[in-house]
Amino acid sequence: MPFTKVYIHCVWSTKNRFPFLNSTDLRQKVWHHIKENALKKEIYLEYISCYSDHCHCLISLGNNQTIQKTIQLLKGESSYWINKNQLTKEKFEWQDEYFAVSVSESIVDKVRNYIKNQEDHHKKKTFQEEYDEFITKFGFKHP
């Protein structure tokens, strides 16, 4: 049996960055549901936090899991669930694109705390500013 521990920090936004998740209560419902869904699908979701227009997850990939498939399972099922339960006034969608970067085990606590403090973080910085910092920091090219 192989033993793996590969941490990935994933970020994705709502369609057109629309602030669908505009209340703390709604965000917590969505987090809780995504956690439950991850557990059912054997996705090890270390930590999750959403803000009004995006979501951060710290995931440890299993032996047979890919980043693309894991994010697809979390995003697809959660948007279906949000719409089925009519939690938003308009049809809810996640943006197709996402950001994912590996996380060294030595900084997992730092990343977890960063994700945990999204509410305070976004009082000072917009998602666009955060996104631009990620793109620069990790050497991605803007599409």
Which CATH number belongs to the domain containing residue 75 in this structure?
3.30.70.1290
CB 51 within 8 A of CB 131: no
Q: Which two tokens stand for residue 112?
A: 């977890």
- Sign of the C-alpha dihedral computed for residues 5, 6, 7 and 10 taken in this order: negative
pLDDT tens, the chain, 143 aa long: 778 889 999 999 999 999 999 999 999 999 999 999 999 999 999 999 988 999 999 999 988 999 999 999 999 999 999 999 999 999 999 999 999 999 999 999 999 998 998 777 777 777 778 878 878 887 877 65
pTM of the model: 0.86
In a domain, 1, yes or no: no
CB 70 within 8 A of CB 12: no
Instruction: Find the domain containing 19 and state its range.
Output: 6-137
Q: Which residue has the tokens 């951060």?
A: 56
In a domain, 143, yes or no: no
